[in-house]
Amino acid sequence: MKRVFDKGKHENPYYSTFTALKDVNFRLKKGESIGIIGRNGSGKSTLLQILAGTLQPSTGSANTDGRVAALLELGSGFNTEFSGRENIYLYASILGIKKKEIDRIYQDIVDFSELEKFIDQPLKTYSSGMTIRLAFSVRIHLDPEILIIDEALAVGDFYFVQKCTRFIKDFIKDKTLVLVTHDLSSVQNLCERCLWLKDGIVEYDGSPKDAVERYLAHYHTNLPEEATPDQDEINEQKNSSVPTAADIEVEKFDQRDRVPIHTIANEWEVLLLNEPSDSFGTGEGSVESCTLEDTEGRQLVGIVGGEIVRLKIKARASVEIHAPILGFNLKDRHGQYIFGDNTYLNTRNEQLSIAAGKTITASFEFRMPILHPGEYAFAVAFAKGTQESHIQIQWVHEALLIRSESPVTHQGLCGVPMHKITTEIN
């Protein structure tokens, strides 16, 4: 113990000083959204803790103007022995919110989190996904002016991440967002400015597009020695079986058959949540079903990429509807649209009408792009009017969930099946 405290008498103390951030200076205006990127250990989380007020800088200062809501470490600000209900009141009271105000917003918090059945259970019985649901819901309903997020949504399920992304997009219209994430597409999708931290120093501060390009260029051209493949590794990869687009076309059914078939992936009754926030429209009709099939009419769950699929959307009119349109968008986990289409151009000269009580079905047949492995959702819409001017009868945010099982690597949001790739050295 003496050696621990009497470090001056010894050449090798039991600790060393580490500076996490150096000369980090920036000003964030009201209504501005900023993403912070960098490798692990670059100082991102330390910076967020300073901005949130949970950590004091050894030199310098951080000033915020407005109520701050911070999602840092999972469950931070909560007591795991308390129930979800008790933690709502505990966290809000710490921020100085009076009980009367908490009572007013309590049900909104529970409804957004979708944890009504578990709200009186101890937090220690919650999964990580349930904990982040509660944490996010509490913070956003305390009317923050600055929202700080540190990779918190990485553990959320697909639907809740979609709901949070929609909230964030609405939030940043007039309030401030500070986002730390390793998902570079999220930074470009949600932020108008990006800070790249490298070893605690601001390497770049500017547009997300430029920041991401510089960040990737730096680390893709400065690989550590252990990350550089030697000739044995190259030969091993050369001799390994890497599927091509042609292989996918032949093996697509085998790949798909190995994906577990769960009803939540293709049953509309489960996927269509009975929440106003998950769909909107005039109420003059409704989308009844949305299914994804192969060319033989078999419903799909797993998608390899490159195969021809058929998306069917069925809607019912409650009143007579003129010039109906059915359409879809495919989006990723963070709400970024991959592609979409609708029936307008095919039917604009037909003067279609649907009588009250009748249904309309649209079938879209296309070759599926090659998606990164993971979950995706089809948003579907039933509208009336024209391509440029239309009214949404019902828009469903997550009508159908699919799971990509692509074995092929690619760049960007998605890839396209290559018919042929050749190389020639002269």
Domain boundaries, the chain: 2-221, 256-404
The residue that leads in pLDDT, 45 or 75, is 45
Least confident of 41-55, 241-255, 261-275, 370-384: 261-275
pLDDT, tens digit, 9 for 90 and up, residues 174-227: 899 999 988 888 888 889 999 999 999 999 999 998 998 888 888 766 655 544
| Residue 2, pLDDT above cutoff 60 | no
How far are the Cα atoms of 219, 220, 229, 412 from residue 223, in angstroms, in the given order? 6, 6, 10, 21
- What integer pLDDT is reported at residue 66 of this predicted model? 85
| Residue 145, pLDDT above cutoff 80 | yes
The topology under which CATH files domain 256-404 is Coagulation Factor XIII; Chain A, domain 1 (2.70.50)
| Residue 243, pLDDT above cutoff 90 | no
Task: Say what the pTM is.
Answer: 0.66
pLDDT tier at 14, thresholds 50, 70, 90 = low
Query: Whole-angstrom Cα distance, residue 268 to residue 315?
Result: 12
Query: Whole-angstrom Cα distance, residue 213 to residue 58?
Result: 32
- What integer pLDDT is reported at residue 11 of this predicted model? 58
How far are the Cα atoms of 313, 321, 323, 354 from residue 351, in angstroms, in the given order? 20, 11, 6, 10
- Between β-strands 279-280 and 390-404, what pairing exists: parallel, antiparallel or unpaired? antiparallel
Token output for 44: 């991102």
Q: Where are the beta strands (DSSP E) in 104-256?
A: 146-150, 176-180, 193-198, 201-206
pLDDT tier at 105, thresholds 50, 70, 90 = very high
- CATH architecture assigned to 2-221: 3-Layer(aba) Sandwich (3.40)
Query: Whole-angstrom Cα distance, residue 333 to residue 44?
Result: 23
